[in-house]
A and B are shown apart, each in its own frame.
Chain A
Amino acid sequence: KNQVEQSPQSLIILEGKNCTLQCNYTVSPFSNLRWYKQDTGRGPVSLTIMTFSENTKSNGRYTATLDADTKQSSLHITASQLSDSASYICVVQRTGRRALTFGSGTRLQVQP
């Protein structure tokens, strides 16, 4: 079954600290993996999209890594800010299919 599992479900960190969110997937055949940020009451916003050949991709303080062999991805947030408080959703697309498989997200809370 094509699935995307994220951990942890929720995370609380202090402002200025770094954190790493995990994503494991069983979606096959793999096309690309996406990370989205979703603020409360808003729609998801794309952070990164990585294909099979890409190991890492950065977007400001956000750095995503991909290990297609182990089917794992991580999202690293550097020097967290209060505005980083949101849900982070990992999404995987299969080759040849347009439909995306969404994880349930990690809810991050950054405290002052």
Chain B
Amino acid sequence: EAGVAQSPRYKIIEKRQSVAFWCNPISGHATLYWYQQILGQGPKLLIQFQNNGVVDDSQLPKDRFSAERLKGVDSTLKIQPAKLEDSAVYLCASSLEQLHYSNQPQHFGDGTRLSIL
């Protein structure tokens, strides 16, 4: 099966600019996650969707970050305006998990590496 697709792979912008990332999950996966991974650390959950509804966005900096998952498939994550501390890899993951939590593994894309100048 095709994996989680993300684009772009790399992005360099100046602080205060805006940027958007795109994610296409594995076909049939109901749950989609966006993570931020700072160099040397484990991923930190930003937002979790169940189909096209938000399940958890408690760690999303809502003053500058936004995400949507129209039609319950593809998703975009936007940062506006970007700050220096937003330099990180943004990972998208998906899983088969339906209404309740399960032991389904999360399948990750290769991420977008964002550098803020």
Contact = CB atoms under 8 A, between A and B. Distances in A.
A2 B43 CA distance: 15
A98 B48 contact: yes
Nearest to B111: A43
Interface size class of B (residues with CB under 8 A): 20 to 34
Contacts of A31: 101, 103
B97 A43 contact: no
A59 to B, nearest CB: 11
Contact of A103 (B42, B97, B107, B110): B42
A4 B44 CA distance: 13
Given A41-B110, A43-B4, A43-B110, A98 B42 contact: no
Nearest to B97: A98
A12 interface: no
Contacts of B4: 43
A41 B113 CA distance: 9
A28 to B, nearest CB: 15
Contact of B40 (A45, A49, A104): A104
A81 interface: no
Given A102-B43, A104-B42, A45 B101 contact: no
Contacts of A42: 110-111
Contact of A93 (B43, B56, B101, B113): B101
B55 A104 contact: no
21 contacts: A4-B42, A31-B101, A41-B113, A42-B110, A42-B111, A43-B4, A43-B91, A43-B108, A44-B91, A44-B106, A44-B108, A46-B107, A49-B103, A89-B43, A91-B42, A96-B101, A98-B101, A99-B45, A100-B106, A103-B42, A105-B42
Interface of A: 4, 31-32, 34, 41-46, 49, 51, 89, 91, 93, 96-100, 102-105
Interface of B: 4, 31, 40-45, 48, 55-56, 91, 93, 97, 101, 103, 105-111, 113
